[in-house]
Amino acid sequence: TSQLMAGKRGLIMGLANDKSIAWGIARALSDAGAELAFSYQGDALKKRVDPLAASLGSALVLPCDVGDEASIDALFDSLKAEWGTMDFIVHAIGFSDKNELRGRYVDTSRQNFLTSMDISVFSFTAVVKRAAAMMTEGGSALTLTYYGAEKVMPHYNVMGVAKAALEASVRYMAEDLGKDGIRVNAISAGTIKTLAASGIGDFRLIMKWNEYNAPLRRTVTQEEVGKSALYLLSDLGSAVTGEVLHVDAGYHVVGMKAVDAPDV
Ligand code: NAD
């Protein structure tokens, strides 16, 4: 994979620490020769993101709160001044009030519904629009989703509804931007222990359940999500758009796995 991303430049959004899915993706892209910029949310994360970015030879580390249009504009103004054009964007951002990532979906508040949709769904559309304007030679955009968009998972609640909308937005943008040679895809990642995931009720049990029931009988790593991201963001995925690629050890195909059960 050493030359796959040579000469390509792109933005990674959603790096919080070295457990972030964004970090697995950034490393895979960097190993393949990509030049990266990073955006982070809030000053508290800057001191974590700076050294990670530096370790991949990237000095372009910019603040961006995707809940704020002016902040998104400022990010892309800086990128445009620095690079002029770009080739790819990775959106690894999601947010919901963790008090509502337990209990019942039906109890979701209006305010948290709107916030979850804003930060976890609309933000992808908002940043892809601006990135696409810089993708003069075509490009590729990627977001992260979860199986809770398709089927009910315990405690995922409003995030499941948000991820369903995010997956639909991938399809609509794939059509909007396809004629400009810009591809838009999502990876539906299996459970990985990250900062965001630790906000979900019973997350350890859900990890165990995946290990027990997935065809590969295990969970997935950041590195594995990174490799699939490289496929979708590079020329290897040149005819793939509007797709939701499951990188989940096969969990999504199982209705019921085979077990040694007593005669029934
Ligand atoms: P993470 O906590 O490392 O990353 C989440 C990121 O979202 C953080 O960097 C945070 O700063 C950013 N963010 C939240 N609100 C923001 C805002 N207003 N402006 C800018 N950034 C903001 O956790 P992660 O698990 O790596 O999450 C990345 C993506 O992967 C999310 O979309 C998540 O839903 C998705 N995902 C995670 C899993 C899992 O099991 N960890 C599985 C499938 C999908």
CA distance to 45, 116, 157, 212, 249, per residue, from 38 (Å): 12, 22, 29, 36, 28
* Closest atom of ligand 1 relative to the 15 alpha carbon: 9
CA distance 148 to 114: 18
Q: What is the pLDDT of residues 6-34, one digit of tens each?
A: 999 999 999 999 999 999 999 999 999 99
Strands (E), 98-138: none
- What's the 21 CA to ligand 1 centre distance in angstroms? 8
264: tokens are 């029934």
CA angle in degrees (0–180, nearest 5) for 172-176-179: 135
Residue 240, domain CATH: 3.40.50.720
Mutate to test the pocket of ligand 1, among 48, 62, 73, 93 (most ligand atoms within 8 A of CB): 93
Question: Is 4 within a domain?
Answer: no
Label residue 260 by pLDDT band (50, 70, 90): confident
| Predicted pLDDT of residue 1 | 57
- Please check whether residue 122 is in contact with residue 112, taking contact to mean a CB–CB distance below 8 angstroms: no
Atom 40 of ligand 1, residue of closest alpha carbon: 191
Q: What is the pLDDT of residues 33-92, one digit of tens each?
A: 999 999 999 999 999 999 999 999 998 999 999 999 999 999 999 999 999 999 999 999
Question: Is 202 within a domain?
Answer: yes
- What's the 179 CA to ligand 1 centre distance in angstroms? 30
Query: Is there an atom of ligand 1 within 6 Å of 195 CB?
Result: yes
Question: Is 46 within a domain?
Answer: yes
Question: Is 25 within a domain?
Answer: yes
Question: Is 50 within a domain?
Answer: yes
Question: Is 34 within a domain?
Answer: yes
Number of domains in the chain: 1
| Predicted pLDDT of residue 245 | 99
Give the structural domain span for 146: 9-249
- Given a cut of 90, whether residue 125 has pLDDT beyond it is yes
Question: pTM for the whole thing?
Answer: 0.97
- Given a cut of 80, whether residue 253 has pLDDT beyond it is yes
Question: Is 229 within a domain?
Answer: yes
CA distance 78 to 74: 6
5: tokens are 């991303």
